[in-house]
C-alpha cells in the first residue's frame, strides 16, 4: 500500500549537496512506491538555497521544477494552511515557517513529514508524524 509523505526543504536540498551519505539516504527514500508531496513554500525555500548556496541558474532551477512536477505532488500554500500554521506555532513553539511546512503536510493529507530540522517522532495535531530519515 502506498503512503503519502511530505518532504521538507532540507530533504530536497540533500539531493544536490556534497553530503554523500545524506544524499544516498534521500535517494533511497524516494525510490519506493510512495507518493511524495512538496508545497509551494518548500519550492520557494529550495529555490532560494540553490541560487544562493549552490549558484544554480534560473534555467537550471526551471529544469529541476519540471522534474519535480513530474515526480512529486505539489501542494499550494493557502490561507487555511497559514491559519493552521499559526495554531501549530503557538501550540508547539515552532517558528512560523517551520509550522507552515507542518501545516502543508497536514493540509495535503500526508501521514508522515520527513525533515531533519523538526522534532523526530513528534505527532502534530494528531495528524502528521515527523520523521528524521537520517535517524531511522
Q: What pLDDT is attached to residue 127?
A: 97
* Burial degree of 109 (CB within 10 A; 0-12, 13-18, 19+): middle
- Indicate the pLDDT class of residue 3, thresholds 50, 70 and 90: confident
DSSP annotation of 110: -
The whole-angstrom separation of Cα 66 and Cα 31 is 18
Is pLDDT at 1 greater than 60 in this prediction?
Answer: no
pTM: 0.93
Q: What pLDDT is attached to residue 74?
A: 97
Q: Contact, 122 vs 112, CB < 8 A?
A: no
Is pLDDT at 7 greater than 60 in this prediction?
Answer: yes
Is pLDDT at 103 greater than 70 in this prediction?
Answer: yes
The whole-angstrom separation of Cα 110 and Cα 34 is 11
Q: Contact, 101 vs 9, CB < 8 A?
A: yes
What's the mean per-residue pLDDT of the chain?
Answer: 94
| CATH 3.40.50.360 is the classification of domain 4-131 | no
Residue pLDDT, tens place only, 26-74: 999 999 878 999 999 999 999 999 999 999 999 999 999 999 999 999 9
Which cell numbers in the block locate residue 101? 511546512
- Indicate the pLDDT class of residue 18, thresholds 50, 70 and 90: confident
Amino acid at each position: 500500500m502506498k503512503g503519502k509523505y511530505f518532504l521538507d526543504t532540507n530533504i530536497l536540498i540533500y539531493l544536490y549537496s556534497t553530503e554523500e551519505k545524506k544524499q544516498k539516504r534521500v535517494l533511497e527514500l524516494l525510490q519506493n512506491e510512495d507518493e511524495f508531496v512538496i508545497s509551494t513554500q518548500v519550492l520557494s525555500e529550495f529555490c532560494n538555497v540553490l541560487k544562493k548556496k549552490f549558484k544554480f541558474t534560473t534555467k537550471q532551477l526551471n529544469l529541476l521544477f519540471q522534474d519535480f512536477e513530474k515526480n512529486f505532488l505539489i501542494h499550494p500554500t493557502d490561507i487555511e494552511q497559514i491559519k493552521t500554521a499559526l495554531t501549530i506555532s503557538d501550540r508547539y513553539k515552532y517558528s512560523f515557517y517551520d509550522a507552515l511546512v507542518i501545516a502543508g503536510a497536514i493540509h495535503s493529507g500526508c501521514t508522515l513529514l520527513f525533515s531533519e530540522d523538526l522534532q523526530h517522532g513528534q505527532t502534530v495535531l494528531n495528524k502528521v508524524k515527523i520523521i528524521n530519515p537520517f535517524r531511522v
